[in-house]
Amino acid sequence: MSWTEERVETLKKLWGEGQSASQIAKELGGVTRNAVIGKVHRLGLSNRTSGGAAPAAKPAKPAKAEAAPRAAKPAAKPAPKEEPATEAPAASAPAPAPTPARKAIIPAGQPLPPQPSANEISPEALASVREVEKKARKLTLMELTERTCKWPIGDPSTDDFWFCGLPVQQGKPYCEAHVGVAFQPMSSRRDRKR
DNA sequence: CCCTGATTCGC
DNA sequence: GCGAATCAGG
């Protein structure tokens, strides 16, 4: 594939919308995210935030095309970073911010996740949860890792208890299906007509 | 391990 | 100009 005008245009558009390089690459097809990034740079639109405030002085990057593979790695990270890492399925508002909030306005034409106001767990979510629980890996607490869904299934006080264990959705503690039910926009649980 | 963009450099 | 390989960070 080559960078036809059309493809370049799409690239510009999507990049402008804040799409990630990989997403754009997927959409364009025939290219990798690297190709996309490379093109973006060549086009000179690497920085999404036009503004101009040139960020920082990029130190120097030691050319790696040397006889020294990777012996030299002058890296120092005295960063006292604090990570709240609070993961509570609570019915609090899910913070949907996959893309930079730079542009407050959401680009039109993008598939936005539905935002039901008076939602009650999408039937699909429930369905997929059931589905998922059937193919759950049934992991024990000890088997859980950073990337396994930590959704508990069954009764903790019995043998009949395990964790989903499917691949988590990046960032989240649960797999896609469980994220769907864990992060509910808000209340509205009470009035189940029955 | 998954992802992100940034950079280099052989092609 | 292109993009894989690599780097660097989340």
- Token pair of A85 as six digits: 């890492």
Task: Name the DSSP letter for residue A146.
Answer: T
- Tell me which nucleotides of strand B come within 7 A of a protein CB: 1-10
The CA–C1' separation of A40 and C5, in angstroms, is 18
> What's the number of domains chain A is made of?
2
Q: Is A130 helix (H, G, I), strand (E, B) or coil?
A: helix
Q: Which of chain A's residues 109-138 bind strand B, using a 7 Å CB cutoff?
A: none
Task: Determine the structural domain holding residue A34 and report its residue range.
Answer: 5-43
- Alpha carbon of A59 to those of A41, A55, A63, A74, A75: distances in Å? 18, 12, 12, 12, 12
Q: Which nucleotide, over all strands, has the C1' atom closest to the CA of A73?
A: C7
Residues A87-109: tens digit of each pLDDT: 444 444 444 444 444 445 545 55
* Residue A159 is assigned to a structural domain of this protein: yes
Any strand B atom closer than 7 Å to A55 CB: no
- Token pair of A156 as six digits: 């903790």
The CA–C1' separation of A125 and B1, in angstroms, is 26
Q: Which nucleotide, over all strands, has the C1' atom closest to the CA of A35?
A: C3
* Residue A186 is assigned to a structural domain of this protein: yes
- Give CA–CA dist A124/A183, Å, rounded: 14
* Residue A55 is assigned to a structural domain of this protein: no
Q: Quote the pTM value.
A: 0.43
Which residues are CB-contacts of A63 (< 8 A; sequence separation ≥ 6)? none
Residue pair A62/A72 in contact (Cβ under 8 Å)? The answer is yes
Tell me what pLDDT residue A142 has: 74
* Residue A104 is assigned to a structural domain of this protein: no
Q: Is A38 helix (H, G, I), strand (E, B) or coil?
A: helix
Residue length of chain A: 194
* Residue A66 is assigned to a structural domain of this protein: no
**Which residue is nearest to the C1' sugar atom of B9, using CA?**
A65
Residue pair A140/A164 in contact (Cβ under 8 Å)? The answer is no
Is pLDDT above 70 for A69? Answer: no
Which residues are CB-contacts of A100 (< 8 A; sequence separation ≥ 6)? A18, A48
Residues A34-54: tens digit of each pLDDT: 999 999 999 988 765 544 444
Tell me what pLDDT residue A178 has: 85
* Residue A151 is assigned to a structural domain of this protein: yes
Across residues A138-145, what is the average pLDDT? 76
* Residue A82 is assigned to a structural domain of this protein: no
- Give CA–CA dist A10/A141, Å, rounded: 46
